[in-house]
Amino acid sequence: MYYGKCLCGVIKIEVSGAIDSIIHCHCSLCRKSTGTAYATNGFVDINSLKVVKGKEALSTFAFKPGRNRHFCSGCGSPIYSSNDQDKSRIRVRLGIFDSEIKEKPISHNFVTSKANWDNLDDNLPRYEAFEPNRQ
């Protein structure tokens, strides 16, 4: 069982099944919808997702007919996306989970669309918290 919530905590979800085909998507749509270099998404069976709190706070944006992004109307956190042509599963944004996820990403996708400042093979320093010079 996986547990997750939006940034403000109004929406809480549970996923009772496996998360499949986890990818880091670098397409411009995912970059724009997250405001980050890429989105990490995984498929779940529609019957394994349960919105346990805040269903009324879910808003939907159809960026193409039948392609919907579902997010918190309060804090804007992306929760999942759905596709009318594949109603058996949804694609969940993995950043919303508080649980450790046992499944791992399988690929970086749409790398030709990646942000020009994003270097997947960089050797930048890594810190456990803020960078040392940040106040």
Query: Contact at 8 Å (CB) between 130 and 45?
Result: no
Delimit the domains of the chain by residue range.
2-113
Residue type present at position 28: S
pTM for the complete prediction?
0.87
Q: Is the pLDDT of residue 116 over 80?
A: yes
pLDDT at 134 over 90: no
Residues 6+ apart with CB under 8 A from 15: 1, 2, 4, 44, 48, 49, 50, 92
pLDDT of 17-60, one tens digit each?
999 999 999 999 899 988 999 999 999 999 999 999 999 999 99
Tell me which fold the domain 2-113 belongs to: 2.170.150
The end-to-end CA distance of the chain, in Å, is: 38
